[in-house]
Amino acid sequence: MPPEDPAKISRAPRAPRHDLRGPAPISPTHDRPDPAELYAALDLGTNSCRMLIAQPKGAQLHVVDSFSKSVQLGNGLEQSGRLSRASMARTIGALKICRRKLETHDVKRMRLVATEACRRATNAEEFIRLVERETGLPLEIIKPEEEARLAVVSCAPLVSRKTEQLLVVDIGGGSTELVWIDLTRVPSHDRARAIMRLHTGFQAGENDPFPGAKVVDWISIPLGVATLKDQFRDVTDDAARFALMSWHFEECLAEFSPYADAAGDSDPGFQIVGTSGTVTTVAATHLNLRRYDRNKVDGLRMTTEQIDRVIRSYLSMGPEGRRNDPRIGRGRHALIMSGAAILQALLRVWPTDRLSVADRGLREGLLYAQMSADGVLDDGPL
């Protein structure tokens, strides 16, 4: 799938208001915020519904409350092209919990977004209206370019000062976003903050006073852990299915060619940042964490050899072994091999001993972008 022209990308409009019985709509405010005011970000993906409520704290954000639930919104979408009634009902149940949390914390500043499943479903607008009628939440469908740059922004604190070429990979449920960024023009002390400034767009303005992070290429591939698994559901052999998924995804990378001679493990200025449940699960398995610990996973650096070792162990376990492995978790075991197939394909193309694991993503990007736009983040180091 060729990348869309970033110059033509604009945010999808909010669904229209309807005078229907149900909860009063929650509307984000746009007055000058109090520095201690809470912000919310909700990410409704193909598989999960996740929300964070946070407040600015220096140059970072402090999480006050969170929510995450597997709703499988995209279940059956590959075959029917529509969101099923059961999937929509599960999702609305989760969104009602989010609504209660927003009310409890009196959150006024928020962005609540939906991604690939709603981009692809023919009945997506019907679903958006149903969400507003049943929950009052102003859910909006964002385009791939915005999803990609928000994932990039969330990873800014993990970018090394030594990094000159950066590849950010976000493996979602329904799509995978890749963004290649050239940081050679940016002073080493300002590289993380240059990534943050990309929240306004992938093409810097002509009058930008800061040395810019240059987005060399980006792509949104409509294959994530759920959609890739669905495409190969008829292959019964576990190892064969994994191999087919991995090679198929590698073929899709042909559209993404930021450089003729891509950087790799021999280039000390090259860094990959991977953000997704797949990458954090692989990291947790590598660390042998029987109870997940974000502080040990977020920011961990892994080599291609370490990741390959974990993936080989998944294959040797088989479906039953993965189902019962506490390091994988019951909410992830059915999708870990499709995610691992994507990760393996990426590392065949760009092998590295510097893959940084990011336990962060679209929600954090939404929060950073809102806070940055409101000017409530400090200018100190990230």
Tell me whether residue 379 is in a domain: no
Exposure letters 309-334 (e unless 16+ CB within 10 A, then b): ebbeebeebeeeebeebebbeeebbb
Q: Return the SS3 of 305.
A: helix
Tell me whether residue 283 is in a domain: yes
- 271/285 same-domain check: yes
Domain enclosing residue 342, as ranges: 148-361
Q: List per-residue pLDDT tens for the chain, 382 residues long.
A: 333 333 332 223 333 333 333 566 676 665 655 657 899 999 999 999 999 999 998 878 899 999 999 999 999 898 899 999 999 999 999 999 999 999 999 999 999 999 999 999 999 999 999 999 999 999 999 999 899 989 999 999 899 999 999 999 999 999 999 999 999 999 998 888 888 888 878 765 444 545 678 888 999 999 999 999 999 999 999 999 999 999 999 999 988 878 644 555 456 689 999 998 999 999 999 999 999 999 999 999 999 999 999 999 999 999 999 999 999 987 789 999 999 999 999 999 998 887 999 999 999 999 999 998 888 887 655 5
Query: 161: domain CATH number?
Result: 3.30.420.150
- 199/213 same-domain check: yes
Tell me whether residue 41 is in a domain: yes
- 118/254 same-domain check: no
pLDDT at 33: 58
Rounded Cα gap, residues 131 and 123, in angstroms: 13
- 162/130 same-domain check: no
Rounded Cα gap, residues 169 and 342, in angstroms: 10
The set of residues, in sequence order, having a beta carbon less than 8 Å from that of 353 and lying 6+ positions away, is 265, 301, 303, 304, 305
- 201/343 same-domain check: yes
- 136/252 same-domain check: no
Query: 367: domain CATH number?
Result: 3.30.420.40
Rounded Cα gap, residues 337 and 342, in angstroms: 9
Tell me whether residue 382 is in a domain: no
- 342/256 same-domain check: yes
- 206/347 same-domain check: yes
pLDDT at 258: 80
DSSP state of 108: -
SS3 content of the chain, % helix, strand, coil (to 5): 40, 20, 40
User: Backbone phi, then psi, for 353, in 5-degree steps?
Assistant: -105, 20
- 182/318 same-domain check: yes
pLDDT at 209: 47
Tell me whether residue 183 is in a domain: yes
State how beta strands 60-70 and 214-221 pair.
unpaired
Phi-psi region of 213 (alpha: psi -120 to 50; beta: other; left: phi over 0): beta
Tell me whether residue 53 is in a domain: yes
- Name the pTM for this structure: 0.83
- 290/154 same-domain check: yes
CB atoms inside a 10 Å sphere around CB 63: 13
DSSP state of 112: E
Q: What ranges in 116-172 are assigned the alpha helix state H?
A: 116-120, 124-135, 144-154
Rounded Cα gap, residues 149 and 151, in angstroms: 5
Tell me whether residue 74 is in a domain: yes
Rounded Cα gap, residues 82 and 78, in angstroms: 8
- 87/200 same-domain check: no
Q: Considering its fold, how many domains does the chain have in total?
A: 2
- 325/370 same-domain check: no
CB 124 within 8 A of CB 174: no
List the one residue out of 148, 149, 129, 151 whose CA is nearest residue 140: 129
Specify the amino acid at residue 181. I
DSSP state of 116: H
Specify the amino acid at residue 63. V
